[in-house]
Chains A and B, each alone.
Chain A
Amino acid sequence: MQWAIETRALARHFGGRPAVAGIDLRVPAGSLFGFLGPNGAGKTTTIRLLLGLMRASAGTAVVLGRPMPAARLSIAREVGAIIETPAHYDHLTGIENLDITRRLLRLPAAEITRVLDIVELARDAGRRVGGFSLGMRQRLGIARALLGRPKLLILDEPTNGLDPDGIREIRALLRRLPAEGVTVFVSSHLLAEVEQVVSHVAIMSGGRLLAQGPLHETLAAAAPSLELAVDRREEAVALLAAAGLRIKPGAAGRLDVHGDADPAAVNFMLHAAGIEVAHLARRAASLEDRYLALTHAAAVEGALS
């Protein structure tokens, strides 16, 4: 099986407004897949369609080689998921919460110990969930999603609201999972977080899929930028903008020159104008650059249409 998830022209409309507008999503089996997009991009709706919580207005979805929702029951045995915030019964303990799902999946009791060890929550699992921190709730949600050794794990914003320590824990956990044969599909708008862990990525905006593929290919498609430090910033910005280059303020008072600018040409231009160049370096494009370029272009296109 090449794809853990494959959709064709998958669409969902709400009162005529497309929340998901005919997307062809392909998630390679065994990948750690980042599903990115701003709020309202259609990520959660797509996830709900993939899990059979919603019916598609058009198109098809194949999950783990079987059609959704026709084969929902058999697919659901091999899929673990957290949709939006992880939900728990606050009046029950962590173990009791897991026990409910374990019984519904007809798994042995030892499975609870296994997943608690994975998320490192064994020590606190006997306490009521109402007293859990957000990070513990997230880890308990992931533990529940891991019950039954799913082949596909779908996590909607798993680091939402977590502190840096919590984010690092979840990141380390996600990195371990593909080695155990799990395809991990992570929806998020935290680009820097996603860039650190994923092998593949898809970017969605306005219900449309703007890009997808291996992370390195997605980054390669973005033009690198130049990082520049000069003595007369305003003059430099005006000069480079007049030459057709896109300039943005960078870190530590520097300038970022976006687009396929030649460093030697930029240096010559500034030098000829009497502007002293203290720093000039090519900076590889980040996922954020690519994301912003794509979503900005989509927004402009949407405004014009």
Chain B
Amino acid sequence: MIAVLITEGVKLRRSLVAMLVLAAPLCVTAFAAMALVTRTGVVRWERFLDEGLAMWSFFMLPMSVTALCILLAQLEHGPRMWNHLLVLPIRRAQLFLAKFVVAGLLLLSMQAIVYLGLYAVGFAIDAAQGGGKLVGDVQMDDMAVGLAAMAVGALPMLVVQLWVAIRWRSFVAPLVVGILGTFFALVLTASGTDVYIPWLLQIYATMWPKPQGVIGLWAGLIGGGVALAAMLASLGRRELA
């Protein structure tokens, strides 16, 4: 399994995946920085961070996961590499599990960049404006826990997107699933109803330890595990071209 993971890492060299992992979280920090700069008066750290997290969790994270899974799957679909990989003496489940592990690690990397990015722009703007722009508790621990919980809540979405991206050679199917999932998540959130779909769990998970957050976290963990098992079983049996 280690060898399979290393080869997944080799494939990322000079690919668009690295650019996506860096660019998507930096977009959110840039938006958060613009919002902070244009706001008059003092701003509480809590509010600044919450706005950044909201932007990331509602829209940018689902769309980044969609793009990430498409790019990871297209590494094989594009040059028709599945045929070559599936005739090697490796269990099929290992190949697909390695894809999931890499996607999960890249998701964690994006969470870390959001964390570092928000604090970097927050401190930089505060210093540039002579200090006192951002007030209150810096909340570094809570922010780290919140982003980690968000990553756990995002697991079912990650698995579903990866499954669809590997299952269909065209990138259209995972793109449509990602857009529809994100759109319905926004609509459901606006309606105020608590519906636990994969594209909302990452938002609920950040509310931990509130009840909704606990449900979001466990649903992410258990749902992600079940979805992963189903994905490995399904793709392992399937004849890919």
Contacts and interface: CB of A to CB of B under 8 A. Distances in A.
Interface of A: 51-55, 72-74, 76-77, 79, 81, 83-85, 87-92, 96, 99-101, 103-106, 128, 144
8 interchain residue pairs of minimum CB distance: A76-B89, A87-B79, A83-B83, A100-B7, A77-B89, A87-B80, A51-B87, A87-B81
A67 to B, nearest CB: 16
15 contacts: A53-B239, A55-B239, A74-B89, A83-B83, A83-B84, A83-B87, A87-B79, A90-B79, A92-B13, A96-B13, A99-B10, A101-B84, A101-B88, A104-B4, A105-B88
Nearest to A78: B89
Contact of A100 (B11, B83, B89, B91): B11
B11 A89 contact: yes
B80 A85 contact: yes
B14 interface: yes
B15 to A, nearest CB: 6
Nearest to A141: B84
Contacts of B83: 53, 83-84, 87
Nearest to A129: B79
Nearest to A55: B239
Contacts of A99: 10
Interface string B102-135: 0000000000000000000000000000000000
Contacts, number: 71
B3 A104 contact: yes
B75 interface: yes
B226 interface: no
Contacts of A103: 3, 6-7, 10
B51 to A, nearest CB: 37
A91 B78 CA distance: 11
Nearest to B4: A104
B80 A91 contact: no
B84 A87 contact: yes
Contacts of A85: 80
A108 B90 CA distance: 17
Nearest to A101: B88
B11 A106 contact: no
Contacts of B235: none
A100 B87 contact: no
Contacts of A104: 3-4, 7, 85, 88, 90
Interface in B2-61: 3-4, 6-7, 10-11, 13-15
A79 B87 CA distance: 9
B86 interface: yes
A89 B7 contact: no
A186 B62 CA distance: 46
A16 to B, nearest CB: 17
Contacts of B84: 81, 83, 87, 101, 144
Given A85-B80, A103-B7, A91 B87 contact: no
A251 B164 CA distance: 56
Nearest to A91: B14
A87 to B, nearest CB: 4
A109 to B, nearest CB: 13
Contacts of B11: 89, 92, 100
Nearest to A76: B89
A85 B90 CA distance: 22
Contacts of B85: 104
B214 to A, nearest CB: 41
Contacts of A128: 14
Contacts of B7: 100, 103-104
Nearest to B7: A100
Contacts of B90: 73, 104
A82 to B, nearest CB: 8
A81 B89 CA distance: 12
Contacts of A81: 84, 87
A305 B7 CA distance: 52
Contacts of A76: 87-89
A79 B88 CA distance: 8
The listed residue with most A CB atoms (<10 A of its CB), out of B4, B86, B91, B239, is B86
B76 to A, nearest CB: 9
A225 B87 CA distance: 44
B89 A91 contact: no
A55 B10 CA distance: 31
A103 B11 CA distance: 12
Nearest to A73: B89
A89 B4 contact: no
A76 B88 CA distance: 6
A197 B15 CA distance: 40
B91 A84 contact: no
Given A100-B10, A104-B85, A104-B90, 16 more contacts: A53-B86, A53-B87, A53-B239, A54-B239, A76-B89, A77-B89, A83-B87, A84-B83, A89-B75, A91-B13, A91-B15, A92-B14, A99-B10, A101-B84, A103-B7, A104-B4
